[in-house]
Homo-oligomer: A and B are copies of this chain.
Amino acid sequence: MPERQLITGNEAAAEGAIAGGCRYFFGYPITPQNKIPEYMSAHLPEIGGVYIQAESEVAAINMLYGAAATGAWAMTSSSSPGISLMQEGLSYMIGAELPCVLVNMVRGGPGLGNIAPAQSDYWLATRGAGHGDGRCLTFAPFSVQEIYDLIGQAFPIAQRYRNPVMILADAVLASMREPCVLRERLDPPEEKPAWAVGGRRRGRQRNIVNSLWTDPPVMEEVNLRIQQRYEEAAQNETRWTEHGADAPEILVCAYGISARICQTAIEHAAEAGIACRLIRPISLFPFPTEVIADWAQRVKKVLVVELSMGQFIEDVRLAVEGACPVEFFGRTGGVLVTPEEVAERIIEIA
């Protein structure tokens, strides 16, 4: 494989997953991520993997549940309405402490909406995972290369915390072409986790994968164990990048495609004489609360930029905790913001 290839975000997600060891894909087509299942249907069978087109997203997530129960490294991908349909299944995966990776290429909503880029599934990703106290570990790449890299890492992370991991991107990142350095494809580990089902011919005790705990204290223990893993993840997996001025007046917070836009916006703002620093959470759950809290002490204002009516901003506000005003700039329904508009907004609030 040549070093640097011009591929789309969808291709990066698919090939990155394969390179990371994913061998099983269960999914249902939906724009703007169709190139992921199409890629998988062409490439997984070639290397002994399995592509199954599920009859629906409800079926897909439950196939994933079955696959994950065997210890397989499996994934699905979808876009907003499809992810909504997976909520019950996600809750079951969390309850049964099963790992998996899912991609959400977010589109404009609510309802059928459109297929334009949006970030309005932030709550669905970070607070969703259906009913109960569980959550998805959520990562938001902002370039094709980062999609490729993060999805590869998502599989071992999912296994480690025995929890679904969501890669949250959008219609722009999905169809964007950028140079991407491809690694060699790794094989998934041969040894299955101790909890996996698969017949007990090897003489072990039988394994049961289950989320039913009628006795509340037992159910609570499961929740505490899950919560414990989230805390570990907060220790180990919290990721973000910072760009811009070291002594900023304005702290800009944005993730994913918005953060890319803000990268250029803060340059424009700097040209207009306003020093900004951009904090870009890569992990949305766990959230890089501390670094935002820290900087919030030292700036005049925080500006949150997101492609929704104000979801991500709540996590930022929970981090800032009143240390300074938090301003908002968001568009929704598939409308993109431009760096020029963000810069204008920065100037306006500075």
Contact = CB atoms under 8 A, between A and B. Distances in A.
A31 B219 CA distance: 17
A85 to B, nearest CB: 5
- Give this chain's copy count: 2
A207 interface: no
- A-B pairs, top 4 by smallest CB distance, nearest first, are A95-B111, A109-B132, A111-B211, A110-B132
A91 B84 contact: yes
Interface string A113-155: 1111010110110011111111000000000000000000000
A331 interface: yes
A131 B109 contact: yes
Contact of A314 (B58, B210, B314): B314
A242 interface: no
19 contacts: A81-B91, A81-B130, A84-B87, A87-B87, A87-B124, A91-B110, A94-B110, A95-B109, A95-B111, A108-B216, A109-B131, A109-B132, A114-B215, A116-B219, A120-B132, A124-B128, A127-B311, A133-B309, A133-B311
A341 interface: no
Given A321-B321, A322-B322, A111 B335 contact: no
Interface stretch (A18-26, A178-186, A220-228, A249-257): A220-228
Contacts of A214: 114-116
Interface in A15-71: 58
A127 B132 contact: no
Interface string A206-239: 0000111111111111110011000000000000
Contacts of A108: 132, 213, 216, 219
Contacts of A121: 131-132
A110 B129 contact: yes
A231 to B, nearest CB: 11
